[in-house]
């Protein structure tokens, strides 16, 4: 899909925002209820020229870790996408269990 001349780039869907997190600084917050099994969007794009071979999108850059996550990452050929694994309520933070990197 090509953006029209008057369309603005939106780094997050309108039902999400970046806001204060009780986990770590800021996080991705639901502006509306989000059902289970929703494809939220792309979090990482594979590129061998970047650290860990991945470019993080705004969605991937601000999602925080939880041992009881409400989302999961799914690998695709060229990217990782975020899928809800349970219903997320208005004001709730979206979370995943980190498994992309091994801290050094």
- Block residue for tokens 């970047």: 50
The C-alpha R_g of the chain, in whole angstroms, comes to 14
Q: What integer pLDDT is reported at residue 63 of this predicted model? A: 93
Strand order in the sheet with 54-56: 54-56, 39-46, 79-84, 71-75
| pLDDT for position 68 | 94
Residue 83, pLDDT above cutoff 70: yes
Q: Which domains does the chain have, with CATH numbers?
A: 16-96 (2.170.270.10)
Task: Note the residue count of the chain.
Answer: 104
pLDDT tens-digit series, residues 26-80? 999 999 999 999 999 999 999 999 888 889 998 999 999 999 999 999 998 899 9
Query: For the segment 16-41, what is each residue's pLDDT rounded down to a tens digit?
Result: 999 999 999 999 999 999 999 999 99
């Amino acid at each position: 899909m090509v953006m029209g001349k008057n369309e603005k780039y939106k780094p997050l869907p309108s039902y999400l925002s970046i806001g204060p997190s009780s986990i770590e600084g800021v996080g991705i917050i639901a502006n509306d209820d989000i059902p289970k099994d929703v494809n939220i969007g792309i979090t990482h794009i594979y590129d061998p020229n970047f650290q860990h071979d991945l470019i993080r999108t705004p969605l991937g850059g601000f999602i925080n870790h939880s041992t009881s996550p409400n989302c999961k990452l799914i690998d695709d050929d060229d990217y990782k996408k975020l899928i809800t694994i349970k219903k997320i309520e208005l004001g709730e933070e979206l979370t995943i269990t980190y498994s992309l990197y091994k801290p050094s």
